[in-house]
């Protein structure tokens, strides 16, 4: 076999150096921003793995307790930290007692002479503890997959393969494990190579997931309004142009609603900007609850919002009335709170978003001039006439 021709001490040094270097680089990456603690935990795990490999290679002398007890304690801590990496990445705090539980069990069992002198027993217990930690890591990923912003399938597959390899050692016998004399163990090379590939694979995938999540968060921050959480002007125009293009191709009607909160400057001046922020967030939340997934909504500036509806003007008018009435109902007792709305419907003709927004704004200004707290429908430039439904 090719692996029998490899020089084991050289392979051991190379594996330890590669894993240790990966650990240092991950800790360095974490130190640049100190936001993603998963990188710190993965780096510490890699350094422990390198130390564990070195300790487990110290066989054949009068200090066999070093690899058997200390070496395996370090490796079990390393596997436990693998589970903690998944917890931290999924937004959960590490559980330090459970991280140390496996290593503590190993240390206590090694005080029992029958266990200490039995290689099959040590192999079985070590494999069982490591497998439980790997299963716990898979459970963490499965529980969090719905709310994570990245795919966890690649790292889950890697953990499963490592778990299968660990369990296979029970069926192949103790000779395939790293608990015997390194120099006389022909298959220790396989264990060493698999451990190195797994450690490097986990490091790469964690770094990749952290990078992917950071990119999505930056992209979301660039396209969302920081205060209300809805799309900002840039997001509204980009998503709106896509919806308009689709409606143009399929010759479907589309309607645009332009919103402006009434007397918003007075709210800021009299009650403070904190109350003004609360009103903005309440309005955005109320609108979002009334929209369909296909509708495009965003804050385009100050107290101004816009919504593009994939539907007819009748649908848009009904939606606008629900929003207007619902927002007025949110006002604290003794205070008025209202919104003026301009509506522009397109059945055929121009599907230019900026042009449609300008026309919807004209209807909005009509609503302001006619007393606010109403919906006005744009009906053309002749005299800037508009029809609407006034609420008394």
Q: Are both 386 and 246 inside the same structural domain?
A: yes
Question: Given strand 386-390, what is the order of strands in its sheet?
Answer: 296-301, 304-309, 254-261, 339-346, 374-378, 386-390
Q: Are both 170 and 301 inside the same structural domain?
A: no
Range of the domain at 96: 2-221
Tally helices (H) and strands (E) across the chain: 14, 6
Side-chain-facing half-sphere of 198: CA atoms under 13 Å: 24
pLDDT of residue 34: 80
* 370 part of a folded domain: yes
Domain termination residue (choose one: 221, 243, 272): 221
Residues marked active site are found at 303
Q: Are both 188 and 133 inside the same structural domain?
A: yes
* 227 part of a folded domain: no
User: At 387, is the pLDDT very low, low, confident or very high (cuts 50, 70, 90)?
Assistant: very low
Residue by residue, DSSP assigns 150-193 as: S--HHHHHHHHHHHHHHHHHHHH-GGGSSSS-TTT-TTHHHHHH
Q: Are both 119 and 210 inside the same structural domain?
A: yes
Q: Are both 152 and 273 inside the same structural domain?
A: no
pLDDT of residue 4: 46
Q: Are both 200 and 322 inside the same structural domain?
A: no
| pLDDT tens per residue across span 327-336 | 988 877 657 8
For residue 124 the two structure tokens come to 């079985």
* 110 part of a folded domain: yes
Q: Are both 211 and 270 inside the same structural domain?
A: no
Q: Are both 269 and 324 inside the same structural domain?
A: yes
**Are 42 and 85 spatial neighbours (Cβ–Cβ below 8 Å)?**
yes
Q: Are both 75 and 212 inside the same structural domain?
A: yes
* 101 part of a folded domain: yes
Mean pLDDT of the chain: 85
* 178 part of a folded domain: yes
Query: What sign has the CA pseudo-torsion 29, 32, 37, 41?
Result: positive
392, pLDDT greater than 80: no
Q: Are both 215 and 251 inside the same structural domain?
A: no
Domain termination residue (choose one: 161, 189, 221): 221
User: At 23, is the pLDDT very low, low, confident or very high (cuts 50, 70, 90)?
Assistant: very high
How many domains does the structure of the chain reveal? 2
Domain termination residue (choose one: 221, 255, 277): 221
Q: Are both 247 and 354 inside the same structural domain?
A: yes
What is the rounded CA–CA span in Å between residue 353 and residue 238?
A: 10
Q: How many CB atoms lie within 10 A of CB 147?
A: 8
| pLDDT tens per residue across span 306-327 | 999 988 888 999 999 999 999 9
* 156 part of a folded domain: yes
* 89 part of a folded domain: yes
pLDDT of residue 383: 43
CATH for 81: 1.20.1070
Residue by residue, DSSP assigns 69-100 as: IIIHHHHHHHHHHHHHHHHHHTT----HHHHH
Pick 4 or 14 by higher pLDDT.
14
pLDDT of residue 179: 41
Q: Are both 171 and 253 inside the same structural domain?
A: no
CATH for 243: 3.30.70.270
| pLDDT tens per residue across span 167-214 | 887 776 554 444 445 445 556 677 788 888 999 999 999 999 999 988
Q: How many residues does the chain have?
A: 392
* 226 part of a folded domain: no
CA distances from 324 to 260, 287, 372 (A): 11, 9, 11
| pLDDT tens per residue across span 238-293 | 999 999 988 888 888 899 999 999 988 888 888 888 988 999 999 999 999 999 88
| pLDDT tens per residue across span 53-90 | 888 777 666 677 888 899 899 999 999 999 999 999 99
CA distances from 204 to 42, 154, 197, 209 (A): 10, 11, 10, 9
């Amino acid at each position: 076999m090719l692996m029998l021709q490899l020089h084991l001490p050289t392979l051991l040094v190379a594996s330890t150096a590669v894993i240790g270097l990966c650990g240092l680089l991950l800790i360095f990456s974490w130190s640049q921003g100190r936001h993603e603690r998963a990188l710190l935990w993965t780096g510490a795990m890699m350094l422990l793995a390198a130390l564990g490999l070195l300790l487990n290679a110290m066989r054949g002398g009068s200090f066999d307790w070093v690899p058997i007890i200390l070496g395996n304690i370090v490796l079990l801590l390393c596997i436990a930290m693998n589970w903690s990496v998944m917890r931290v990445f999924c937004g959960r705090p590490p559980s330090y007692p459970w991280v140390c539980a496996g290593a503590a069990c190993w240390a206590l069992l090694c005080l029992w002479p029958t266990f200490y002198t039995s290689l099959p027993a040590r192999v079985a217990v070590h494999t069982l503890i490591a497998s439980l930690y790997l299963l716990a890591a898979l459970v963490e990923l499965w529980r969090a997959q719905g709310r994570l912003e990245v795919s966890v399938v690649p790292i889950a597959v890697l953990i499963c393969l490592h778990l299968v390899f660990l369990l296979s050692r029970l069926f192949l016998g103790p000779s395939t494990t790293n608990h015997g004399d390194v120099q006389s163990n022909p298959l220790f090379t396989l264990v060493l190579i698999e451990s190195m590939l797994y450690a490097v694979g986990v490091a790469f995938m964690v770094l990749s997931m952290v990078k992917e999540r950071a990119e999505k968060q930056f992209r979301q921050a660039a396209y969302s309004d920081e205060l209300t959480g809805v799309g900002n002007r840039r997001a509204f125009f980009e998503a709106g142009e896509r919806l308009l293009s689709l409606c143009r191709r399929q010759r479907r009607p589309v309607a645009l609603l332009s919103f402006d909160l009434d007397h918003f400057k007075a709210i800021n001046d009299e009650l403070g900007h904190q109350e003004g922020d609360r009103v903005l967030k309440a309005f955005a939340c109320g609108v979002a609850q009334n929209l369909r997934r296909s509708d495009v909504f965003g804050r385009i500036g100050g107290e101004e919002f816009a919504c593009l509806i994939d539907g007819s003007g009748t649908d848009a008018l009904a939606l606008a009335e629900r929003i207007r009435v619902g927002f007025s109902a949110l006002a604290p007792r003794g205070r008025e709170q209202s919104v003026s709305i301009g509506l522009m419907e397109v059945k055929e003709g121009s599907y230019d978003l900026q042009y449609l927004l300008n026309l919807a704004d004209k209807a909005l200004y009509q609503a302001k001039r006619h007393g606010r707290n109403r919906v006005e429908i744009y009906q053309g430039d002749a005299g800037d006439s508009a029809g609407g439904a006034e609420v008394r």
